[in-house]
Chain A
Amino acid sequence: MPNLLWLQSGGCGGCTMSLLNAESPDLMTLLEAAGIDLLWHPSLSEQTGREVAQLLEAIVSGEQPLDLLCIEGSMMMGPQGTGRFHMLGGTGKPMIEWVRELSAKAKYTLAVGSCAAYGGITAAGNNHTEATGLQFDGELPGGLLGDDYLSDSGFRVVNIAGCPTHPDWVTETLISIALGEHSEENLDTLGRPRMYADQLVHHGCNRNEYYEYKASATAPGERGCMMENMGCLGTQAHADCNIRDWNGHGSCTSGGYACINCTAPEFEEPGHSFGKTPKIAGIPVGLPTDMPKAWFVALASLSKAATPDRLKENATSEQLIYPPTIHKRKG
């Protein structure tokens, strides 16, 4: 029965809150069914204070084996590499020291969320806290543990990136490991589980018809495609958000706002305002993934010329103005 230790550092705790949204079954039933024994989780476990410090010491000394180490939140290297921006409560020791020592013992080390994976939001701005990820510093290999880190059973860090992560991304990854099915081939080049990262947010987006005809929204809340004006990166973002619903019904794009590519390293500093698409000579910068530029421009201008009135009108409206026409077989 694999055990699991979860620690939080320079993040918001949102990946844990999202994990509690797991459904069919709920999180506790799911862990039990998967045979995962929760050694300690900061939001859920009974043990507090000294009991926890003793558990961590026992893992570091090798007395207590550790299978799954889940880290949520950025690694806080600052100030000046001391790690003092986060000293784990009650232990007088920087969290980065704990993570270095524990990850040397863990059979599998998992970064839960984009902060732990790449630095994430905490590394935005001038990154004065020297926040970084476990095995990546933004797009570059490295981070706290370094590019050559391998867990006790010989694996690189699994980056369940997202801000926050979808509960299923976490639970399915954990179960796959618990089943003994993990391999490096299961991860993409940024360390993300391919189970969700081989999809684009664009796949299954309910605005696809607007995208096809380049019928674009111009303000928040309008029904059209958000790629041209509203900063949407769904055609480039690796995640299955529009195939697998969030909170039963949702996704960012169905909620009426742009995908900001939160599963990617450095999403936190896009170099422009999140809600506005950067353009050169009126053409959006950033093409849909794998699309040759000349063809995209040609197809976009062609489809724009062919946009049906229904989509043109509906695209800039909050409410549906024109429903699709009903075809009659006779008359």
Chain B
Amino acid sequence: MSRILVGPFNRVEGDLEVSLDIDGNQVRSARVNSPLYRGFEQIMLGHDPMDALVYTPRICGICSVSQSVACAQALANLMQLEMPANGQHCTNLVLANENMTDLLTHFYLFFMPDFARPVYAGEDWFEKVEQRFKATKGDASRVMLPARAEFLHLMGLLAGKWPHTLSLQPGGTTKPVEPQERIRLLTITAAFRRFLETELFGDDLNVIASLKSVAELEQWRQQKPWYSSDFRTFLHLNESLELHNLGRATDQFLSYGTYPQGEQRVFKSGIYVGGEHLPLNSADISEDVSHTWMENGDQPRHPSQGKTIPSLENEEGYSWCKSPRLNHQVVEVGALARQLINGHPLAQDLVTQQGGNVHSRIVARLLELAIIIPQMQEWVKAIDPKAPFCNHTELPNSGSSFGMIEAARGSLGHWLEVKKGKIHNYQIIAPTTWNFSPRDQQAVPGALEQALEGTPVREGESEPVAVQHVVRSFDPCMACTVH
């Protein structure tokens, strides 16, 4: 048996190090280290609770809006404040704009370039894939980056800028939309839809969103040549490299649900454990710090009682990341979890047949793009420039609260306690905290650590390419993970 250390592990957001014990030609066990600690939970103590709207988005430059929305929701719960319909539509639009941008950025810039590595030079698809996806040089980035930047013009109109807006408030949004701006929003979303339909899918978004099973997906794939769209190219790579056999974790999933619409949410909350769909009880969430460089490793704590006191003296520690668990179980979060829990038939069939793996995670992300862009067009149409965008009230002097939403990478929760008008405690569990956690008290590895077990290693590889596919299939955000 030998050990290899992979790092700096790039094309993830932030810094990452993965330690692999290799047995023969596969990974026997893995340890995942989030090597940067900044301590936002300590930084915010003693500040005006409203200032959390400045600090929390700056946890992460790629999930900035998600952090704002979770924070604003926690503050709104404390204030018992509801948004006017416009505020809700615009919050949803801004959140969806970031989430969809992130899904796109992950696919084109972080994930696909691995298939253009020299290790695949002997494959019959290599030349075309290299031309399209080679890191920094591929043709795809030349069409994807302008489309991404133009799609983010929605942020310019609704949020002032991205990342790091202050437009997302507990009672709505600070940018009332003028009639001409509403029209601009319609053209921005329509243009992005066109990009997805011509470059990414090669088909109408509604066709993609309506695929109901793995068999239907396969049938769709075969309708046109593999190189006719980027999604078909990915499906071809899956067939060639059997990505569905890579990176299976626990097959237990969690989603907090997101995008409120009146009393409902576009994506439901829930859990999927032991092959069953069940409701989420947030009291079942706890964070363990037994293998984290933190003090207070005695018992796992619910985040409302959580503490963050860094200490390198924990000899069992090997990461700054805590270990969130649901009823002491390891769960996976992300687009696949979200679509599965929301009952999308394709996501359900993917999980039933092959569980969570590199292939199903990527398909679920792209499926979500096809579902949400038309939804964004509906939200824009629903904006009424003559109606209010933001409600206001005073913040109570004390109390505790939470905000739970879905970021691009999965479930994001903020737990807030206010005393004497100041932040007394602020705890955050980010999506990649769930996925990239270290071991817990029972020495059970986190989701990625489990997913890496059994991953094949080619002769002489120091950064096994299959390991890179598995790690990046989670679209990790290390900035959020430790915060």
Interface residues of A (CB under 8 A from B): 8-18, 20-23, 26-29, 38, 41-53, 74, 76, 79, 84-91, 121-122, 124-126, 128-129, 131, 163-164, 219-221, 223, 245-258, 260, 262, 273-275, 318-319
Are A14 and B60 neighbours in the complex by a CB distance under 8 Å?
Answer: yes
Cα–Cα, bound, A319→B390 (Å)? 12
Are B64 and A255 neighbours in the complex by a CB distance under 8 Å?
Answer: no
Cα–Cα, bound, A145→B128 (Å)? 46
* B141 interface contact, C-beta 8 A: yes
Given contacts A28-B142, A46-B134, A247-B156, contact A89 B150 (CB under 8 A): no
Q: B135: which of A12, A22, A44, A163 is its contact (CB, 8 Å)?
A: A44
Most buried by B among A28, A257, A275: A257
Are B161 and A45 neighbours in the complex by a CB distance under 8 Å?
Answer: no
Most buried by A among B33, B54, B173, B468: B54
Are B10 and A48 neighbours in the complex by a CB distance under 8 Å?
Answer: yes
Are B6 and A13 neighbours in the complex by a CB distance under 8 Å?
Answer: no
* B35 interface contact, C-beta 8 A: yes
Q: In the complex, what's the smallest C-beta–C-beta distance from A105 to chain B, in angstroms?
A: 19
Contacts of A126 in B (CB 8 A): 42
Are A13 and B8 neighbours in the complex by a CB distance under 8 Å?
Answer: no
Contacts of A251 in B (CB 8 A): 160-161
**How many residues on chain B are close to A (CB under 8 Å)?**
89
Given contacts A76-B36, A86-B36, contact A14 B116 (CB under 8 A): no
Q: B8: which of A46, A79, A91, A131 is its contact (CB, 8 Å)?
A: A91
Given contacts A43-B10, A319-B176, contact A89 B164 (CB under 8 A): no
Are A122 and B38 neighbours in the complex by a CB distance under 8 Å?
Answer: yes
Q: In the complex, what's the smallest C-beta–C-beta distance from A176 to chain B, in angstroms?
A: 22
Q: In the complex, what's the smallest C-beta–C-beta distance from A81 to chain B, in angstroms?
A: 13
Q: A318: which of B105, B388, B479 is its contact (CB, 8 Å)?
A: B388
Cα–Cα, bound, A11→B164 (Å)? 13
Shortest beta-carbon contacts, A-B, top 6: A255-B160, A14-B61, A90-B7, A89-B7, A256-B174, A250-B156
* B406 interface contact, C-beta 8 A: no
Cα–Cα, bound, A258→B398 (Å)? 26
Q: In the complex, what's the smallest C-beta–C-beta distance from A303 to chain B, in angstroms?
A: 25
Given contacts A247-B162, A255-B165, contact A221 B135 (CB under 8 A): no
Contacts of A121 in B (CB 8 A): 43, 55, 58
Cα–Cα, bound, A14→B386 (Å)? 34
Are B9 and A13 neighbours in the complex by a CB distance under 8 Å?
Answer: no
Cα–Cα, bound, A52→B158 (Å)? 39
Are B389 and A318 neighbours in the complex by a CB distance under 8 Å?
Answer: yes
Contacts of B76 in A (CB 8 A): none
Contacts of B51 in A (CB 8 A): 273-275
Q: B38: which of A129, A246, A273 is its contact (CB, 8 Å)?
A: A129
Cα–Cα, bound, A220→B148 (Å)? 29
Are A26 and B145 neighbours in the complex by a CB distance under 8 Å?
Answer: yes
Are A79 and B310 neighbours in the complex by a CB distance under 8 Å?
Answer: yes
Contacts of B50 in A (CB 8 A): 273-275
Cα–Cα, bound, A221→B168 (Å)? 10
Are A274 and B54 neighbours in the complex by a CB distance under 8 Å?
Answer: yes
Cα–Cα, bound, A110→B37 (Å)? 23
Cα–Cα, bound, A18→B149 (Å)? 9
Given contacts A28-B141, A42-B10, A256-B174, 4 further A-B contacts (CB under 8 A): A45-B10, A84-B312, A129-B39, A247-B153
Are B58 and A12 neighbours in the complex by a CB distance under 8 Å?
Answer: yes
Cα–Cα, bound, A15→B164 (Å)? 10
Q: What are 29 A-B contacts defined by CB distance under 8 Å? A: A12-B58, A15-B61, A17-B62, A28-B137, A42-B15, A43-B13, A46-B113, A48-B9, A48-B11, A76-B37, A89-B7, A91-B7, A125-B42, A125-B44, A125-B45, A125-B46, A128-B310, A163-B58, A221-B175, A221-B176, A247-B149, A247-B153, A247-B156, A247-B162, A249-B157, A250-B157, A252-B165, A257-B174, A274-B53
Cα–Cα, bound, A153→B108 (Å)? 37
Contacts of A254 in B (CB 8 A): 160, 175
Q: A255: which of B150, B167, B479 is its contact (CB, 8 Å)?
A: B167
Q: In the complex, what's the smallest C-beta–C-beta distance from B68 to chain A, in angstroms?
A: 11
Contacts of A164 in B (CB 8 A): 61, 163-164
Given contacts A13-B62, A43-B13, A221-B176, contact A86 B35 (CB under 8 A): yes
Given contacts A16-B61, A45-B10, A90-B6, contact A221 B389 (CB under 8 A): yes
Q: A8: which of B14, B150, B154 is its contact (CB, 8 Å)?
A: B14
Cα–Cα, bound, A110→B225 (Å)? 46
Given contacts A89-B15, A122-B38, A257-B165, contact A29 B8 (CB under 8 A): no
Q: In the complex, what's the smallest C-beta–C-beta distance from A92 to chain B, in angstroms?
A: 8
Write the chain B residue with the least CB distance to A49.
Answer: B463
Are A250 and B39 neighbours in the complex by a CB distance under 8 Å?
Answer: no
Cα–Cα, bound, A241→B329 (Å)? 47
Contacts of A28 in B (CB 8 A): 136-137, 141-142, 145
Write the chain B residue with the least CB distance to A21.
Answer: B149
Are B8 and A89 neighbours in the complex by a CB distance under 8 Å?
Answer: yes
Are B109 and A85 neighbours in the complex by a CB distance under 8 Å?
Answer: no
Q: Which of B1-55 contact A (CB under 8 A)?
A: 5-11, 13-17, 33, 35-39, 42-48, 50-51, 53-55
Given contacts A44-B109, A220-B392, A260-B54, contact A12 B61 (CB under 8 A): yes
Are B54 and A90 neighbours in the complex by a CB distance under 8 Å?
Answer: no
